[in-house]
Amino acid sequence: MMITGILITICIELLLPVLMGLAVSLALGEIRSKLDLLAQSFVYGQIIIFALFQPIFVFAILKDYRFSKGAALFGAVLAVVLLTLIVVTFTGYRKDLVKTLKLKNMNPGIWGIAALVILGIMIVMSFLKAYYDGDDSYYVAAAAEGINSDSMYKKEPYTGDAILSPYRYLFAPFPMWIAFLSKLSGIKVAAVAHTMIPWCMILFVFAVMYIMSGYLFKDDSKKRGLFMFFVSVLIMFGDYSIHTPENFLLARSRQGKAALASFILPFMVFLIYGIIREFEDRKKVNPVRFVLILLTGFAGALCSTLGGVLCVSLTLTGALCMLLTYRKFKYPFVMAICSMPCLIFPVLYFVMR
């Protein structure tokens, strides 16, 4: 049962995002190797999954659905979106996919290999060193409540008493994502939170940094490898305070704050940089990028109640820089508009609390 659960978790956390992100990667057309295709699809697909999970589960919680009903609703929507994206991939981008699969992988060089070694060490240690944090008493317990009592944010995780005002937490239901993984895999919530989520979150961060290196160094594989090595070192030795993103990534990966600081916000920076760079090169921007801005805002809201606010602030800053630099109003305005919908969750929080 444990082996089956691990395989199911790997399929959900690795295979599913790649399948969902293929169409987006091919639509953007920034693939230089098969590893680029894999990394981009992995990241884009997970952003789509998080973006779907957020509104569906907030709706389910507000409608007082049982956890199992919310999970079934999300599973149904996810299946429809997955099938749609697979059809789009193999009908609209089949030639591009075949062409990409024939590309040769770039030589990572000695520094790239060193980065992979450090990445492997981090992943192994995430299994061997399960770190307890005080916030686990709430967040992991809230996820366990979803499984054990088939309810969401009805009981105080600390005491088991009824929650009088759950609004601080229910608009960022990241614990329910952990519960969803536990429900599908059959693995206990604590095991999922402490052993499955960390290695996956580490891979997300490295994938974002790798596709960012493609913007910075293009086809220079050695420079990309050196960049990833320095990223690896900074992450491994960034645990000099409990407040750094590196500490959250390595020691508190199962908390939404870790995903927001280490994965979502760096990815938003990547999107903004991509929009500005594409406009500078081509004087136009692929609409898919603006859709990703929208989806990333929802993904940020899933991780933290103020995550959406931070995503919007970051996007508006990028839009302002673009406006002042190029004196063009159209694309900065579209960026701002696409970032706004995720603000509905903090607004609901302030209204309902």
Cα–chain-centroid distance for residue 89?
A: 21
Q: How many domains does the chain have?
A: 1
Residues 122, 250 contacting (CB under 8 angstroms): yes
Q: Which amino acid is at 35?
A: L
DSSP state of 149: S
Inform me whether the pLDDT recorded for 130 exceeds 80: no
Task: Give the DSSP letter string of 70-136.
Answer: HHHHHHHHHHHHHHHHHHHHHHHSHHHHHHHHTSPPPP-HHHHHHHHHHHHHHHHHHHH-----TTH
Reported as a single tens digit per residue, the pLDDT across 144-189 is 888 888 888 887 777 777 776 667 778 889 999 999 999 888 888 8
DSSP state of 241: S
Q: Name the H helices within 149-286.
A: 167-170, 174-185, 189-191, 197-217, 221-236, 245-251, 256-259, 265-282
Domain holding 269, by residue range, is 2-352
* Per-residue pLDDT at 165: 67
pTM of the predicted model as reported, rounded to 2 decimal places: 0.93
